[in-house]
Amino acid sequence: MIFKNSMILLCILLFQIGCKETSQKTKNLVNLWIGKKIILPDKNLMRRIEKGSPNLLYKKLKIITFIDGDCSVCVDELQEWKKLLKKIDTAKVGFVCLINSNDKLITFERLDSLEIHLEHPYFYDERDSLRIKNAIPDDKLFQTFLVNEQNEVLLLGNPTRHEKIEELYLREIQKLKGLEKKPLGFN
């Protein structure tokens, strides 16, 4: 029931973003994706791996986002992801950032070291094969997903682009992981 209400809230929120015609397309897209399984990358595609860090592909909850490494605006969005990830317990919630690009890995690595400074591992998919295999929509708003342990979509929408979607993600993550903050005071 809570899950269904959250999905309805997400649909309403996304409806408010566009017009009625777009709203119906959004509703259809949400209905299509909820419960759909996402194919994750092979762990060999992971970059910026730290020794002893757990494999984020096997966490019970994961945020999966597809970033076009050839799009400067999209790459700039990684700064917004860094801010958002500070609000999430990434020890419990995996962040699967898939960088797809027609360019060489070394170009993105250089950009990362000079400008972006990612603090989390990312996956580099040079041939864009995972976006194609998963039939990810072209609309950047719908290239981010909250998935469960079975990699089934619970929420979709980009929380770095809309504050209300961010609030929905944070609320759902807290509910699903039991991370709700206890009130301050004496018990």
Query: ∠ CA(39), CA(42), CA(45), 5° rounding?
Result: 125
Decide if 17 is inside a domain: no
Given a cut of 50, whether residue 184 has pLDDT beyond it is no
Given a cut of 60, whether residue 118 has pLDDT beyond it is yes
- Strand 144-147 vs strand 153-156: parallel, antiparallel, or unpaired? antiparallel
Decide if 50 is inside a domain: yes
Decide if 87 is inside a domain: yes
Q: Provide, rounded to the nearest whole percent, the portion of the chain with pLDDT above 90.
A: 36
pLDDT digit string, tens, across residues 22-32: 677 878 888 89
Decide if 156 is inside a domain: yes
- Quote the pLDDT of residue 5: 52
Residue, of 64 and 120, whose pLDDT is higher: 64
- Quote the pLDDT of residue 142: 93
Decide if 2 is inside a domain: no
**Residue 57 is part of a domain; what is its CATH number?**
3.40.30.10
Decide if 123 is inside a domain: yes
Decide if 25 is inside a domain: no
- Quote the pLDDT of residue 21: 55
- Give the range of the structural domain holding residue 71, as residue numbers without chain letter: 36-177
Mean pLDDT calculated for residue range 33-59: 82
Decide if 80 is inside a domain: yes
pLDDT digit string, tens, across residues 134-178: 999 999 899 999 999 999 999 999 999 989 999 999 999 998 876
Total domain count, the chain: 1
